[in-house]
């Protein structure tokens, strides 16, 4: 998918607050992109514009050189697998919660999300309201397994690995990156993940302040460099 944001802004219709302002960037086909920014910088709103869960106030978004409005929302979302920050659950079986309406192998998807211990419960175990019969880490991995059960042109992970220990997060991220046919947009605060992206968009207070590789941002963006140091520094995976 080629994606282009042309001078896009978004104001919250309830508060009137300008959430995103004058956003301009292009994602080329087969290009993997990272999105970095502090809490409240507008990262999730940017992706909700792409999936049309919210609509731009001004400006235009293009998908493969066509205005995004030219695409039926159902067909648009069928090409985008968006794994959000917060796990959501149905009061149905574990199998149904992973598969949703898709028919790919839920067992394999759960294993790729590091869910060996969850699989031991069986795929036909019922999930309680809000997933309360699973631990927080298990809920996150069930949620992440959905990244592997829906084959789409584009996968978006919205800080989806934040609740996992480093070993499990690395395992899941490695499995995500194994699919070369699927583009990725990774919203993250982790340098190990961002450094594997072709390019990183850096947001501050709803505006793009820099675009470049992890090495470029490390040298030119104070917030990026600070977060890198807080996570122990070391060599970036360039």
- Residues 4-38: pLDDT tens digits? 999 999 999 988 899 999 999 999 998 999 999 98
On whether the CB atoms of residues 177 and 137 are closer than 8 A, the answer is no
pLDDT at 199: 96
The torsion angle over the Cα atoms of residues 96, 102, 104 and 110, rounded to 10 degrees, is -40
pLDDT band with cut points at 50, 70 and 90 for residue 99: confident
Taking the C-alpha atoms of residue 186 and residue 23, their distance in angstroms, rounded to an integer, is: 18
Work out the angle at residue 77's Cα, subtended by the Cα atoms of residues 76 and 83, and round it to the nearest 5 degrees. Answer: 145
How many other β-carbons are positioned within 10 Å of the β-carbon of residue 190?
Answer: 20
Q: Name the pTM for this structure.
A: 0.89
Tokens at 119, concatenated: 């699989």
Q: List pLDDT tens digits, range 110-145.
A: 999 999 999 998 999 999 999 999 998 999 999 999
Q: Which residues contact 50 (CB under 8 A, 6 or more apart)?
A: 3, 61, 68, 80, 156
What's the pLDDT at 236?
Answer: 43
Confidence tier at 185 by pLDDT (50, 70, 90): very high
Mapped onto helix, strand or coil, the DSSP state of residue 42 is coil
Note the pLDDT of residue 139. Answer: 93
pLDDT on residue 233: 64
Note the pLDDT of residue 237: 42
What pLDDT is recorded for position 88? 87
| Residue 90: strand, helix, or coil | coil
């Amino acid at each position: 998918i080629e994606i282009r944001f042309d001078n896009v802004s978004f104001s919250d219709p309830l508060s009137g607050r300008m959430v995103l302002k004058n956003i301009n960037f292009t994602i080329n086909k087969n290009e993997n992109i990272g999105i970095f920014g502090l809490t409240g910088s507008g990262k999730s709103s940017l992706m909700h514009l792409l999936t049309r869960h919210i609509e731009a106030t001004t400006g235009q978004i293009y998908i493969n050189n066509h205005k995004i409005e030219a695409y039926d929302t159902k067909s648009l979302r069928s090409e985008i697998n968006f794994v959000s920050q917060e796990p959501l659950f149905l009061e149905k079986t574990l199998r149904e919660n992973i598969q949703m309406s898709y028919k790919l192998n839920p067992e394999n998807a759960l294993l790729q999300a590091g869910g060996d211990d969850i699989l031991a419960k069986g795929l036909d175990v019922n999930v309680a309201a809000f997933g309360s019969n699973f631990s927080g880490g298990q809920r996150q991995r069930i949620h992440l397994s959905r990244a592997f059960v829906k084959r789409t042109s584009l996968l978006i992970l919205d800080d989806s690995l934040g609740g996992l220990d480093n070993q499990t997060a690395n395992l899941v991220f490695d499995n995500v990156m194994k699919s070369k046919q699927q583009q990725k947009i990774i919203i993250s605060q982790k340098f190990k993940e961002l450094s594997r992206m072709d390019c990183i968009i850096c947001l501050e207070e709803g505006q793009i302040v820099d675009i470049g590789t992890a090495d470029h941002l490390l040298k030119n963006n104070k917030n990026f460099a600070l977060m890198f140091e807080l996570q122990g520094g070391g060599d970036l995976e360039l």
